[in-house]
A and B are shown apart, each in its own frame.
Chain A
Amino acid sequence: MDHIFFLGTLICVWIIVSVAANLVIGYTGMLAMGQAVYLGFGAYAASCLNIFLGVNYFVAVAIAAVASGFVAVLTLLPLLRLEGMYFALATLGLNFVFFDLFRNLGPRVEGSEGLYGIILPAALATPTAQFFTTLAVAVLCIIAAARLVKSPLGRALRATRDRPDALLSLGKSPTAYHIVIWGVAGALTGLAGGLYAATLFYIDPTLFTINASILVLVYIGVGGLASIGGSILGPVLLITFTEALRYLGLPSTLMGPIQQALYGALLIGVMIFRRKGLVGTHDFQE
């Protein structure tokens, strides 16, 4: 039973990340390929505050979320004048840059590659409590995101994607909207990072490589671009499905590669047959 709750918690964490990524990739049309950077930053920031300064974990996660938002904006600012594929490439490069930063500067516990020893409050201490707390946070994030995309800000975001000239002619700057949404998505991803660290008890830099960023692309690509429902559907379907594979009795060494190959095939299939994903409202423009 504990394992089911653990999986549920993981799904909730990835839903938050997917919702955040969909805000920038789907709704705003920015080709972001570095979500793992902010996930990792949030996870490391929350864990460090808790382990080394004794900050209550919820407070630590909140601070980590805000800090991730700032880091996200800081990393975006120099990249703002890039367009299309060049922007995608630069964000892709961020994965490698931050991997080395996490690996070389991130604190580690003696004798391991990573960090553990978070002291969790009661609401995150057992798998059951953890699931319901994370679920509550995920639901809040989903409601906030759903309201955001329906608000005037949400309309403006879609306008920066579809009709940037129209925005300009109204005297509004697409760039300002890009910065705001990037910061919001960074903060949400950082929040998810904090919860992710609490779920796993142990974090190390290999969790936050380009593979994690690609994973997010798979989730929202399959679920659906520019769709909150799609951002929920993607992680739920894919994580449940790969877990179900476990019961086929395959040797455990094959599980990783099978999952990887499946995700690869899904990416190809989605790009050929249904570029907006299962319930998406938009497809990749380029």
Chain B
Amino acid sequence: MANALQLLTIGIGIAGYYALVAVGFAIIFATLRIFHIAHGTVFIAAGYLFFFLYRVYGVDMLWSGLAAIVVAALVGLAIDKAVYIPVMRRGGGLFSVFIASLGVSLIFDAGFLVYTKGVITVARTAPLAIISVGGVTFRALDLLVLAVVFMVYGLLYLWFHRTKTGLAVRGLTDNRGLAAVVGMNVGQTRTLIFLVASALAGIAGVLTAYDTGIAPDTGSRTLFVAVVAVILGGVRNILLGTIFGSLSLGILTAYAGFFFPEWVTFGVFSTMIALILVRPRGVFG
């Protein structure tokens, strides 16, 4: 029993990272119909920059993190401006943009591979503080991650439902053509979406680099899981869907990783294929 609870806490800890990466991917996919595979690249780019500033240059941890998040936001925006917009302007559709996005991650991952030689990069220097409550241990960092997730999702909810730009984002989700017709500035909203989504991936990247560390393929691996989470939850209700998908996958990963460590990927992607078959639009789709 304690074991099951312990695995549950581990699963929720993992789910926090998925939730931060998945929500940005989901917003971009739901509003702009861009399958942004390179979102995973933005995520580890922030992790590496954080490591670089904090450990190599010895910059203060908080400032390193903030700088990494800002740069991540700009990298995401740059990918849209330099790659996706030109592809779409020349008539490329969802699949073409997806292929171009794969190209972006190949380039970045190659760069990270040269820089790290494939070794895992961990930014922290000390073991993590551990808290024990009634036989279940968890890490203090998990609490921080969950607090960040709550804050992010809360702010996103307020943004979507209480502000004019948030209304524009929801408008894009519902009907893109109409949104432009009623005089919405689609270009500006698009910029905003990429900045926000990429900053969220940046937060996850900094935290992951600090916690378990990152390797050049961590970005694409995490992103594929985040994609599954988004498919699981569906994009009709972005926040509810991604939190549900991330939680399910985090818990699945924790249990599968304990009982059948060799079959985790198999489990995650079989779930995805099965779910696409049963409910292509997700549980809340």
A261–B103 Cα gap in the complex (Å)? 8
A141–B103 Cα gap in the complex (Å)? 29
Q: Which of B87, B109, B111, B224 contacts A96 (CB 8 A)?
A: B224
With a cutoff of 8 Å between Cβ atoms, the chain A residues found around residue B87 in the complex are 268, 271-272
Task: Determine whether the beta carbon of A284 is less than 8 Å from that of B231.
Answer: no
With a cutoff of 8 Å between Cβ atoms, the chain A residues found around residue B104 in the complex are 264, 268
Task: Determine whether the beta carbon of B231 is less than 8 Å from that of A285.
Answer: no
Q: How far is the CB of A205 from chain B (nearest CB, A)?
A: 11
Q: Which of A78, A93, A261 contacts B272 (CB 8 A)?
A: A93
Task: Determine whether the beta carbon of B95 is less than 8 Å from that of A31.
Answer: yes
Name which of A96, A99, A263 has the most chain B CB atoms within 10 A of its CB: A96
> Does B113 count as interface, using CB distance less than 8 angstroms?
yes
Question: C-beta contact mask, A263-286 vs B, less than 8 Å → 1, else 0?
Answer: 111111011110100000001111
Mostly, the B contact residues are helix
Name which of A78, A100, A260, A272 has the most chain B CB atoms within 10 A of its CB: A272
Which positions 232-285 of chain B face chain A at CB distance < 8 Å?
262-263, 265-266, 268-270, 272-273, 276-277, 280
Task: Determine whether the beta carbon of A260 is less than 8 Å from that of B280.
Answer: no
Task: Determine whether the beta carbon of A82 is less than 8 Å from that of B86.
Answer: no
Question: C-beta contact mask, B73-116 vs A, less than 8 Å → 1, else 0?
Answer: 00000000001001100111111111110111111011101100
Beyond A260-B107, A261-B111, 18 additional contacts (C-beta under 8 Å) are: A82-B276, A82-B277, A90-B272, A93-B276, A97-B265, A97-B273, A214-B106, A217-B99, A253-B114, A258-B110, A260-B109, A261-B106, A264-B103, A267-B106, A270-B99, A271-B103, A284-B93, A284-B96
Residues in chain B within 8 A of chain A (CB atoms): 35, 83, 86-87, 90-100, 102-107, 109-111, 113-114, 117, 224, 227-228, 231, 262-263, 265-266, 268-270, 272-273, 276-277, 280
Sample of 9 A–B contacts (CB below 8 Å)? A31-B95, A85-B95, A89-B227, A96-B269, A97-B269, A97-B273, A260-B106, A268-B107, A284-B95
